[in-house]
Structure 1
Amino acid sequence: MAADQHILNYFTAMDNQGGIIVRGRTRFERLLLIGQCSVPLCVDALKAAVAEAKRGNDVQRYRDAFECIRVAAPDEPEAKWDEAWVTATEKANKAETHRLESELKGYKNNLVKESIRIGHRDLGEHLESIGDLNGASEAYIKMRPDASTQSHIQDVGKHIISILLQKRDWAAVLANANKVLAISPGSNEQNTEQPYQKMIYGLAQLGEGRYYDAAKSFLEVGDPAGCQAHNDVASPNDVATYGGLLALASMDRLELQTRVLDNASFRNYLELEPHIRKAVSLFVNGRYSACLGILESYRNDYLLDIYLQAHVPAIFSQIRSKCIVQYFVPFSCVTLDSLNAAFAKPGESIEPELINMIKTGALNARINTIDKLLVAVSTNSRAAMQKKALDSARNYEKEVLERIRRMNIAAADLEVKGSKKVVGGGGAGNMPGVGDVWMDETRRQPTSNDTMV
């Protein structure tokens, strides 16, 4: 317990100094992921994960962390099963669950809507803290009938989205964000909720592999001060990393300049991660190998992120493909040696990657294996211009013939003019009545002979 107190004091001091502290249940997820993936940080991360689990009430999380550290470092004190803590925590959890359910039952008997809503919320938060995500989700959903104000509706939505984020149900996250977090334009709450909404949209779109949409969401998060209030979802550093990487993977040079580098609000995030800003600047300025070098030096850090890990290979592959294509654009042919010097790893060749890009259509070129050249497949500009001119001439000739035909039909009085009765005076049968107005179907305008008296 002394070690836990030291950690608490340390983070309190860091928070007082303005440091960004990750709170909530995602802290355990991040520590456990680092413990499972990082060799040098494994033991320290797992020890911290055990301590983090024992500060909460989720016994299953303690079991997960214990199983990992038992295998990785069996001699550590944290690798000894704490049966007393498990028994006491499970007993306390059952007692608290029974108490909250009894209170909620009393609120329902009294028929006080606000008390019922708060009772469901307290029960849901308790079930979420002990790891019963399904039970917590049901409790939060039951809050909806008793939510009477916009803030109550948003509170329900945030609780439900918290559960869905932990389940990684990205489609449901987007659906709930669209339904319950929508705020009418002009509302005073719109700016305060924008950072949270954009982060949620961005994470869900990232989870679904929609990198361009996710990049736009992260670039529109807004004020970092509003983002810090939701560190349990993502920190401002995360927003800078996600937004910059996804923009590099999905946006062209012009969009990177306008949406990222010239974005006044996102510039504040880039100051937290200067290497992202430098990588984007290098890409915009055409220094592709330097850009890729910076990103490669941080690849291991990205692989330890709970949201980004699964997408790092795809994101880096798209960025590399863009760099190679942009590097090749100004030239009709480039030697493979120069491409290897710019993009290949030491001792390796970029030729297999070029072949794959050509097959997928990402690169419009051919490889000359004899001269060791990458040659652009140039289109015949003269033939293309001639084809365009011929197509324009054919379209003009067709339009002229149609106009001449129309003029001849009109001159020969062969037009079929349909008529439609638009105002009725009440004539008998099919005969027009007094005051009936007839409209020409072709011209859609009354003619001089259309009014019958």
Structure 2
Amino acid sequence: MATDAPGLVAFFNDMNLQGGVVVQETPKFDLDLYIQSYTGRTRFERLLTIGRCCVPLCVEALKAAVAEAKSGNDVGRYKEAYECIKIAAPSEPEAVLDQAWVDRVTRENRAQTHRLELQLKGYKNNLIKESIRMGNEDLGRHFESIGDLASASEAYSRMRPDVSTSKHIVDVGKHLVDIALQRRDWAMVLGNLAKITGIPSEDDKALQQYSKVVHGIALIGLEKFREAATMFLRIDAAKDMKETTDYSHIASPNDVAVYGGLLALATMDRKDLQVHVLDNQSFRPILELESHIRKAISLFVNGRYSACLTTLEAYRPDYMLDIYLQRHVRTIYSQIRSKCIVEYCRPFSRVTINSLKEAFSSPDQSLIKELIDMIHSGVLKARIDNIDEVLVTVNSNPRKAMQAMTIERTRLYEREAMERIRRMSLVAADMEVKNAKKFTAPSGSHEEATDMWFDNGGDPMATVESQA
């Protein structure tokens, strides 16, 4: 490993220059056990992310990524992993390009593509819809396996005219959702997901789980954290999650626990956390898979904010290596920290800066600057007294708020009363039109139609009778 140290330094220096994420700490998960929770193409993506970002696990993860790529048919992914390990660990056997494997798999992929296209062409000539649908599905799966996601999406889309059952509709939708998820096209994910939501399925429970997980991940990508938390918290835990989980190629039940709990902690108040998370009997079995998340939420609800933040900080490296959370960890943690500071100051009119430093001191940034930013953004309604070194909370004037609410209610009451009086006056003057039909102007001039209207007292039925 010592001989690879210069390569690791150069590798992560390049990552820093490119604005990538670099995690210096060792995560709490075991890499082998972690990756066993996933199936399909997400295994390689997660291994490559860990290899690119985590200093302690870099070489191990990149070697596993190379092996994972060579177990499939995606030459592009193998070359991507090879380029990384060539810089990070040039002395490893995986750092030597296996050109023979690349040439062989490339030839096999071309031959398979040609064979499936000819097969599909024969099905089209025979005009058998089911065979055409299956031919497009086989071609789409092949393109997906070799990394040609655009062609895979086109092939899956061509299945739509030939579907004949609700299961076929669901299958097409799930194929397109999976492709859009790999391409990080969140709008397309939600669009295709809406087409299969509510469609009866043979395994409705698994489809509901799949839809909620994918919907929540798409909302994370769109930075709609409150809606994403609500979606994850609606997932019902199965009796045996490992057997009934239908989303292992996307995320694991542990990921669902982290996503739901962490986003709820960042966006919900204490009452909602107690009701929708801690007392949520359907989500609780999933939350127990990540007991530290449940502990952090309980600490926040009980007012132990410093302990809550300490618990979360211990697991920050793990979340920085998650393919969906990585871009949003800093924002989520910042929201949680701001909530803790606000809740800590809420019961008091004056809080000393020293007590805030003891509870929320951070080596990364100045607490005073953080408080100033929170005040400017409106998150914290307070002002800082530098002379006495205290934070003075600015409470809203309850009398002024009550007066504003009273005036608004008075205006609403006055508007409603005027409408009722106007209605009563119309009824009393016998000007109410009952069972009115659409008035058609007579074929004459506008002046004649107007005269006829007034001659009949504005009664549309009488006007129609006169017109007849």
Given the two structures, how large is their TM-score scaled by the length of structure 2? Answer: 0.81
Contact between 1:195 and 1:227, CA under 8 Å: does it hold in 2? no
- Matching residue of 1:449: none
- SS at structure 1 position matched to 2:282: helix
SS of equivalent residue, structure 2 residue 277: helix
Question: Which of residues 187, 212, 218 in structure 1 aligns to 2:232?
Answer: 218
Structure 2 residue identity aligned to 1:267: R
State the secondary structure of the residue aligned to 2:235. coil
1:362 aligns to what? 379
Where structure 1 has 5 or more consecutive residues not aligned to the other structure, the ranges are 1-12, 439-453
Task: Give the equivalent residue in structure 2 for 1:60.
Answer: 76
Confirm or deny that 1:37 pairs with 2:50.
Answer: no
**For residues 347 and 191 of structure 1, do their structure 2 counterparts lie closer, same or farther at Cα, with a shift above 3 Å needed?**
closer
Deviation per residue, 1:1-54 (Å, 9 max, x gap) = xxxxxxxxxxxx989xxx962111010000001110001100010000000000
Distance 1:391 1:119 in 2: 65
The count of corresponding residues between Structure 1 and Structure 2 is 411
Relative distance call for 1:399 and 1:72 in structure 2 (3 A) is: closer
1:298 to 308, 312, 315: 315
Which of 154, 179, 182 is equivalent to 2:170?
154
Which residue of structure 2 lines up, in the alignment, with residue 202 of structure 1?
Answer: 216
Change (3 A) 1:391 1:202: closer
- Please name the residue that 1:126 is paired with: 142
Name the CA distance, whole Å, in 2 between partners of 1:255 and 1:344. Answer: 27
Query: What pairs with 1:19-418 in structure 2 (closer than 5 Å)?
Result: 21-183=37-199, 189-224=203-238, 225=241, 228-345=245-362, 349-382=366-399, 384-385=401-402, 417-418=430-431
Q: How far is 1:102 from its partner?
A: 1.1
1:228 positional shift: 2.5
Two-structure CA RMSD over aligned residues (Å) = 3.2
Q: Aligned to 2:283, what secondary structure does the other structure show?
A: helix
2:212·2:231 contact (CA, 8 Å) conserved in 1?
yes
Task: Tell me the CA shift for residue 183 of structure 1.
Answer: 2.3
Q: Using the TM superposition, name which of 343-352 and 300-309 deviates more.
A: 343-352
Change (3 A) 1:318 1:401: closer
Could you tell me how far 1:255 is from its partner in structure 2? 1.0
Task: Assess, with a 3 A threshold, how the Cα gap between structure 1 residues 145 and 288 changes in structure 2: closer, same or farther.
Answer: same
Q: Which runs of 5+ in 2 are unaligned?
A: 1-31, 438-451, 463-468
CA pair 52-377 structure 1, distance change in 2 beyond 3 A: same
Residue pair 2:342, 2:380 contacting (<8 A) in 1 also? yes
Is residue 212–residue 247 contact of structure 1 (8 Å, CA) maintained in 2? yes
Bigger mean CA offset, 69-78 vs 263-272: 263-272
Shift of 1:243: 0.5
> For the Cα contact (< 8 Å) 1:196–1:221, is it kept in 2?
no
Q: In the superposition, relative to structure 1, how do residues 51 and 391 fare at CA in structure 2: closer, same or farther (>3 Å)? A: closer
Whole-angstrom CA distance in 1 between matches of 2:412 and 2:176: 58
Q: Where does structure 1 differ by over 3 angstroms across 4 or more consecutive aligned residues?
A: 187-190, 346-349, 379-396, 398-403, 419-424, 429-432
The one-letter code sitting in structure 1 at the alignment partner of 2:168 is H
Contact persistence 1:97–1:126 (CA under 8 A): yes
Distance in 2 between the 1:32 and 1:153 partners?
Answer: 33
> Percent identity over the alignment?
56
Give the secondary-structure state (helix, strand or coil) at the position aligned to 1:265: coil
Per the TM alignment, residue 112 of structure 1 is displaced from its structure 2 partner at its CA by: 1.1
- 1:385 shift after superposition: 4.7
CA shift for structure 1 position 437: 8.5
Instruction: Give the C-alpha shift of residue 68 in structure 1.
Output: 0.2
**Cα distance in 2 for residues equivalent to 1:286 and 1:155:** 47
Contact residue 62 and residue 85 of structure 2 kept, 8 A: yes
CA change 1:387–1:53 in 2 (3 A) is: closer
* Contact 1:144–1:156 (8 Å) recurs in 2: yes
Return the structure number with greater relative CO, CA threshold 8 A, min gap 6.
2
Shift of 1:203: 0.5
8 Å contact from structure 2 (residues 207, 246) kept in 1: no
Provide closer, same or farther for how the CA distance between residues 113 and 218 of structure 1 changes in structure 2, counting only shifts above 3 A.
same
